[in-house]
């Protein structure tokens, strides 16, 4: 699950780079697109914020998956020890 968040973070990061690049392009090269540079900078900020949020969600998801996996392994090891002591 965390891999999906990482992929989403990369996609948002790419869009942030594209929007940052578009803020430096003059309006004559952008027919039919918003020519206001501040609009592109705001879009860059929002995409960057979304990328950071999804990267944080991916990191937290990975950490919780790791805790679940380790607690399951510890539970199974304790079960094996208990069964080994009885016989």
Contacts of 11 (CB under 8 A, 6+ apart): none
Model's pTM, two decimal places? 0.75
pLDDT tens-digit readout, 39-77 = 889 999 999 999 999 999 999 999 999 999 999 999 999
Show me where the domains of the chain are located: 2-86
Q: In whole angstroms, what is the distance from residue 24 CA to residue 62 CA?
A: 37
User: Is 26 strand, coil or helix?
Assistant: coil
The backbone torsions φ and ψ at residue 65, rounded to the nearest 5 degrees and listed phi first, read -65, -40
pLDDT tens-digit readout, 8-43 = 999 999 999 999 998 888 777 667 666 677 888 999
């Amino acid at each position: 699950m965390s891999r999906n968040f990482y992929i989403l973070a990369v996609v948002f990061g790419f869009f942030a780079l594209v929007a940052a690049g578009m803020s430096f392009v003059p309006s004559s090269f952008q027919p039919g697109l918003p020519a206001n540079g501040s609009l592109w900078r705001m879009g860059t900020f929002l995409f960057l914020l979304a990328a950071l949020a999804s990267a944080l969600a991916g990191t937290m998801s990975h950490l919780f998956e790791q805790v679940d996996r380790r607690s399951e392994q510890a539970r199974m090891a304790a079960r094996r020890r208990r069964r080994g002591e009885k016989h």
